[in-house]
Amino acid sequence: MLDEFLLHLFYQGNCIEAYKLFGAHVEKDGVRFTVYAPHALSVQVVGDFNAWGENKIYLDKIKDDIFSLFVPGLEAGHLYKYRIETQHGTHVDKSDPYAFFSELRPNTASRLYDLDGFKWDDQEWMEKRTACYHDVLNIYEVQAGSWKMKKEFTDEEDGEYYTYDELIDMIIPYVKERGFSHIEFMPLNEFPFDGSWGYQATGYMSATSRYGTPHQLMALINACHKADLGVILDFVPTHFVKDAHGLACFDGGYVYEYPQDELRETEWGSCYFDVGRNEVRSFLMSAVHIWIDYYHIDGIRFDAVSHLIYWKGQEDRGVNDGGIEFTKKMNHQLKRRYPDVMLIAEDSSSFPQVTHSIEHGGLGFDYKWDLGWMNDTLAYFKKDPVMRQSQDIHYKLTFSMMYFYRENYILPFSHDEVVHSKGTILDKIWGNHDQKIAQCRSLYMYMMTHPGKKLNFMGNEFAEYKEWDEKKAIGWSILEYGHHKDFFDYLTRLNHLVKSTPALYECDFEFNGFEWLVADDNLQSIYAYTRYDRVGNAVVTILNFIGNKHQGYRIPVSHPGKYELIMSTQDHRETFVCETIEGQTLNKAQYLSVDIDPFESLMLVYKREG
């Protein structure tokens, strides 16, 4: 019997546990199959246990739109699909929308799996977990298959991935040593085409079999938590692939997608979810919730949120009221149960209040990617330093603070910036190799001291030159070259310094946590600002984005006293302490006199008396 309360919530569009109603559930003496198929005339389950339908097993129609049957004698491991008779009298074989596990691609069957039984021992992490508003959030974005590979893909042969289990002893100590606080995995749901990176999914509740089993993935997440690392997962709530075995025309009708031709097709050749339908809302909310519930995921990054907000992601097409209502409903349900799980919007639109509470008219996300900051910053660094002296270019790096407190932002240098002939982060910077490396160091000091949480894609940490390709591992061999190894060590020190300095993360979203000191010196391409923690400790950052040396440059500061250098972008710079000098500079009564080398940036900590 189906749980009538959950079923009521499902039809209302309020169910976040629909996977308890539908799917294939392994029980003591067999398996119960249940599928939502409102247009089907009949449904069979076919699999390796009945010669793929030679011995027919029809599900009972227990409601007008639901088919279910308990099949005795089955256990975990069997492969299956649903054979659906459409209203046109044709038959289609479909994988289970609520499957917990799937066959390894290129095969497309669902696989019976019991998610229960994994023994978690991450209680200490779960009890102290927060949404990181006032904590460090420095994310290492990873594509699990191409971080490292046993064998790379060629035109003739498939490659070979490391498993979830094998990654435990490889990626966790690496990320810890590098000073990151969280790993963000690009989608780990099941998907047919490697080149989609998981963003065109078929199995929304199924951990991809490319890297092992669901319990092996749970073991990886458990190990991350025991190592004090959070785990964030990418999720696509907007669209799905049109592959024949998937959700498209699931039962011969439009179950998951819009029925209207002009609304259904996406720019990626996939189908938009009809997020105005209650049953689709329950499916998507449940697909998010299962990762939090069963896999202990600490954050969900929602892809292409602008396509939930606007029809086809285009503001001129108008607001998608159904998408807005669904987003608010989903975020309300999730935050009510899991206030410590981060909900992150990858949203390229200017729609307001994305990270404001639903009660105050917002969409209810915790964070939004600041794609404007990313675009402005990279556009600035592409310019010849002579061009940076123009006011229009100079203000690309001050503009972010004019809007920053409208949302809770994450500053991302993600996978999207290092593929499809866009060049890597280092590629985008003006100059010869030495100049690029020097500026890249200053770029990262700017990023890590700017208000907001941080995200970097794998390979950024050693100033990668090779564009990311999912068929190959990132370019580890570049660490054999001195400049890249030195940059690698520098960014590691910078990450650890941020982690140990509350002024650089504690008040990311509070007005009194940031103060401009030098914002308008475009002719010298100098910027300076102070970051504060909640008890008034201060860190001053001085950025030089031009190839000139500045002798005795005056930095106005708010507090008289001593300031100690805690980091320079130049490894040879010795630590020093400088004391303020009385004298009106800009709007301050005292200043620091600092020598700054070409493309050098500095961080100084204010030494409070007592």
Residue type present at position 184: E
Share of the chain above pLDDT 90, in %: 97
Residue closest to 186 by CA, chosen among 127, 131, 145, 129:
145
Rounded to whole angstroms, the Cα distance separating 25 from 32 reads: 5
pLDDT tier, 607 (very low <50, low <70, confident <90, very high otherwise): confident
pLDDT tens column, 546-585: 999 999 999 999 999 999 999 999 998 999 999 999 999 8
Q: What is the DSSP letter of 418?
A: S
**CA 521 to mean position of chain CA atoms:** 35
Q: Are 20 and 35 in contact (CB under 8 A)?
A: no
DSSP bridge pairs for 63: 66
Q: Which residues of 474-511 are buried (b: 16+ CB within 10 A; e: fewer)?
A: bbeebeeeebbeebeebbbebbebbbebbbbbbbbbee
pLDDT tier, 49 (very low <50, low <70, confident <90, very high otherwise): very high
Q: Is the dihedral of CA 294, 300, 306, 310 positive or negative?
A: positive
Average pLDDT, the chain: 96
Tokens of 120: 């978690």
Tokens of 22: 């539908």
Rounded to whole angstroms, the Cα distance separating 312 from 120 reads: 41
Tokens of 548: 């000139």
Q: Residue for token digits 């078929």?
A: 202
On the question of pLDDT at 1 being above 80, the answer is no
The catalytic residue positions are 303, 346
pLDDT tens column, 199-232: 999 999 999 999 999 999 999 999 999 999 999 9
Q: How many CB atoms lie within 10 A of CB 537?
A: 16
Residue closest to 243 by CA, chosen among 106, 430, 143, 413:
106
The predicted structure's pLDDT at residue 568: 98
Check residues 610 and 2 and name the one with the higher pLDDT. Answer: 2
Q: Is the pTM of this model over 0.85?
A: yes
| 3-state DSSP helix/strand/coil % of the chain, to nearest 5 | 30, 25, 45
Tokens of 254: 């439009």
The matching CATH number, chosen from 3.30.360.10, 1.10.10.10, 3.90.1150.10, 3.20.20.80, for 135-184+208-213+225-504 is 3.20.20.80
Backbone dihedral angles phi then psi of residue 506, each to the nearest 5 degrees: -70, -35
Please state whether the peptide bond connecting residue 339 to the residue before it is cis, i.e. omega within 30 degrees of 0: no
Tokens of 72: 């005795």
Helices 164-178, 214-226: crossing angle, 10 deg rounding: 20
On the question of pLDDT at 74 being above 60, the answer is yes
pLDDT tens column, 334-381: 999 999 999 999 999 999 999 999 999 999 999 999 999 999 999 999
Residue type present at position 264: R
Tokens of 583: 């004298």
Tokens of 64: 């007008």
Contacts with 3 (C-beta within 8 Å, 6 or more apart), sequence order: 20, 21
Query: Which stretches of 74-223 are assigned E, i.e. beta strand?
Result: 79-85, 91-94, 110-111, 138-142, 149-151, 160-161, 182-185, 189-190, 203-207
Residue closest to 511 by CA, chosen among 451, 423, 583, 432:
451
On the question of pLDDT at 610 being above 60, the answer is no
Tokens of 268: 């990626």
DSSP bridge pairs for 567: 603
Helices 482-499, 433-449: crossing angle, 10 deg rounding: 10
Residue type present at position 308: L
Q: How many CB atoms lie within 10 A of CB 460?
A: 25
Rounded to whole angstroms, the Cα distance separating 346 from 366 reads: 11
Q: Residue for token digits 């020190």?
A: 493
Radius of gyration of the chain (CA): 26
Q: Is the dihedral of CA 440, 442, 444, 446 positive or negative?
A: negative
Residue closest to 349 by CA, chosen among 301, 317, 382:
317
Q: Is the dihedral of CA 27, 121, 175, 339 positive or negative?
A: positive
The predicted structure's pLDDT at residue 575: 92
pLDDT tier, 608 (very low <50, low <70, confident <90, very high otherwise): confident
pLDDT tens column, 397-435: 999 999 999 999 999 999 999 998 889 999 999 999 999
512-607 is classed CATH 3.30.360.10? no
Q: Are 152 and 200 in contact (CB under 8 A)?
A: no
Q: Are 209 and 190 in contact (CB under 8 A)?
A: yes
Domain 4-111: top CATH class = mainly beta
Residue extents of the structural domains in the chain: 4-111, 135-184+208-213+225-504, 512-607
Q: What is the mean pLDDT of residues 481-488?
A: 96
Q: What is the DSSP letter of 389?
A: T
Q: Residue for token digits 């060629």?
A: 154
What does the CA dihedral 287, 288, 292, 298 come to, rounded to 10 degrees? 150
The predicted structure's pLDDT at residue 421: 84
Q: Is the dihedral of CA 9, 10, 12, 16 positive or negative?
A: positive
pLDDT tier, 38 (very low <50, low <70, confident <90, very high otherwise): very high
SS3 99: coil
On the question of pLDDT at 504 being above 80, the answer is yes
* 523 half-sphere exposure, CB direction, 13 A CA radius: 0
Q: Is the dihedral of CA 482, 483, 484, 485 positive or negative?
A: positive
pLDDT tens column, 493-503: 999 999 999 99
Residue closest to 564 by CA, chosen among 604, 609, 537, 596:
604
Q: Does this chain's domain 4-111 share its CATH topology with 512-607?
A: yes
Q: What is the mean pLDDT of residues 383-404?
A: 97
Q: Is the dihedral of CA 319, 321, 324, 327 positive or negative?
A: negative
Tokens of 529: 């600002």
Q: How many CB atoms lie within 10 A of CB 156?
A: 5
Rounded to whole angstroms, the Cα distance separating 588 from 583 reads: 8
On the question of pLDDT at 333 being above 60, the answer is yes
Tokens of 448: 């890590």
